[in-house]
Amino acid sequence: MKKSLIVALAVIMAGTMTACGMGDVGGASSTATSQAASSAVVSQISADAMDDNLAGLEKYLAANSFISGQPVQMQPEFIGAKSGAKYQFGFDGNNNVTVELYEYDTANLNDTAKSMISEVKSKGKYSIMGQEVAAVLSDSGKYLMIYKDSAAADKNKAHQQEVTKLFQGFKK
């Protein structure tokens, strides 16, 4: 009886120690490395190589390491857009970032789209369902981005500014 209890405890301890030995998977050190890499990549990957549509914008931001993961398709008609995607991922070792990207058909804007774009241009945000949502338009006016980061550290704010700058310059 004692031997089987000792063997069972040994197996449990071995499993526990194996899990602890995984280290910091995707933590701050690997994020710092990917941040340094993304800074170098930004100058190497051009928007010219991407299609001028939502898929091209997504590919561009992903290639520059500013979005990651699998997108969830959004219901863009709520804001008058023609297509939309939402990404949730981590920056600096936390699952803290949500990015929504929307594409507008600028040649055929409906009233909802016109109102949204006007509000974002003038206020940097829009109202929907009683809430104010911070958003930014691309320089072309064709794309809208909502970027939310639950972490408020200076490096997170700086990262958001980098993403915003890259986003705004897409297909001017």
Mean per-residue pLDDT for 79-101? 92
Q: What is the pLDDT of residue 21?
A: 34
Question: Which pLDDT band holds residue 154 (cuts at 50, 70, 90)?
Answer: very high
Q: In the structure, how many helices (H) and strands (E) does the chain have? A: 5, 7
Q: Phi and psi for 169 in degrees, rounded to 5?
A: -80, -5
Mean pLDDT (whole number) for 7-19: 42
**Whole-model pTM?**
0.73
Residues in Cβ contact with 83 at an 8 Å cutoff, skipping those fewer than 6 apart:
53, 54, 76, 102, 103
Query: From CA 143, how far away is CA 108, in angstroms rounded?
Result: 14
Domain spans, the chain:
2-168
The whole-chain average pLDDT of the chain stands at 80
